[in-house]
Amino acid sequence: MKIMVGIDGSPLARRALHRAIEIFRPLAPEIVLVTVVEETLDASGMGEQIFDKWRESRQRYLKEMADWAASQGAEVDALMAVGDPRKMLQEAIRSKSPDLIVIGRRGASDVEAMRLGSVSAFLIRHAGCDVLLVHK
């Protein structure tokens, strides 16, 4: 079984990875971790410096999560993409063909808790495979 987990650095993304390992450990799944760094719209040198720091930070986070998943006995493939998260996740789905996608549900306030985050909602509609949405 191949499970793709979208991680974005948030506590809920970390929870999604932990939950995927917890639920599917007996099946010895391959875990495909995907994180996406959005490109900066600022074309100045300052914008590029901020983007580089953000990308480096996300790369460290991806490695940390991959190492943790591997320590739990999972076979891990880790990918980092740059661009629109919806498009990049859809591309990762096409290239890796997961059986299941696990992603955290956005919802910080009471109003936001009533609706799905835009990436989550997009994946539910367009993933082409099952999607497990992890709540708090």
Domains of the chain by residue range: 7-34+70-112+127-136
Render pLDDT for 76-97 as a digit per residue (tens, 0 to 9): 999 999 988 889 999 999 999 9
- Helix (H) or strand (E) run with residue 21 in it: helix 11-24
pLDDT confidence bin for 113, thresholds 50/70/90 = very low
The DSSP letter of residue 9 is S
Burial of residue 108, with CB atoms counted within 10 A of its CB: 0-12 exposed, 13-18 middle, 19 or more buried: exposed
Residue 128 has a pLDDT of 87
- Helix (H) or strand (E) run with residue 127 in it: none
Report pTM. Answer: 0.84
Whether the CB-CB separation of 40 and 135 falls below 8 Å is answered with no
Residue 39 has a pLDDT of 75
Whether the CB-CB separation of 62 and 80 falls below 8 Å is answered with yes
Rounded average pLDDT over 58-65: 95
